[in-house]
């Protein structure tokens, strides 16, 4: 099991409705990829955690990197882990960007 945390800058014309659309689509797709995770958005930036088999997380990350709805993607942390923090979630939508949330999720085994 692998867990990856990145931050990025949202394209300036993104609206909250666009974020809802993005999260809905990802929530449907992630379970079929064996991926769980969470996405935060504060109106300017995204922060996301993806969990799953390492090759699946990295393959999805390649797709997400080339998405023009954001730029300046910086991987903050990535590591092998024992279990999932977001079990049962395709993509959990978080209100705002609370770094402690992402950091404590990354600290889980």
3-class SS of residue 66: coil
Give the relative orientation of helices 54-65 and 16-33 as an angle to the nearest 10 degrees.
150
22 lies in the site for ligand FMN, by CB under 6 A? yes
**Beta carbons of 89 and 36 less than 8 angstroms apart:** yes
| Closest approach of ligand FMN to the CB of residue 9, in Å | 10
| Closest approach of ligand FMN to the CB of residue 67, in Å | 3
Task: Name the residues that contact ligand FMN, by CB under 6 A.
Answer: 22, 26, 29-30, 37, 39, 46, 48, 60, 63-64, 67, 69-70, 91
């Amino acid at each position: 099991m692998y867990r990856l945390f990145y931050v990025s800058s949202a394209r300036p014309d993104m609206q909250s409705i666009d974020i809802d659309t993005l999260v809905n689509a990802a929530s449907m797709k992630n379970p079929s990829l064996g991926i769980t995770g969470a996405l935060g958005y504060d109106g300017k930036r995204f922060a996301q955690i993806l969990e799953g088999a390492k090759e699946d997380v990295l393959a999805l990350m390649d797709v997400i990197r080339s998405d023009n709805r954001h730029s300046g993607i910086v991987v903050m942390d990535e590591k092998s882990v024992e279990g999932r923090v977001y079990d049962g979630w395709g993509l959990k939508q978080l209100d705002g960007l609370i770094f402690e949330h992402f950091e404590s999720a990354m600290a889980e085994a």
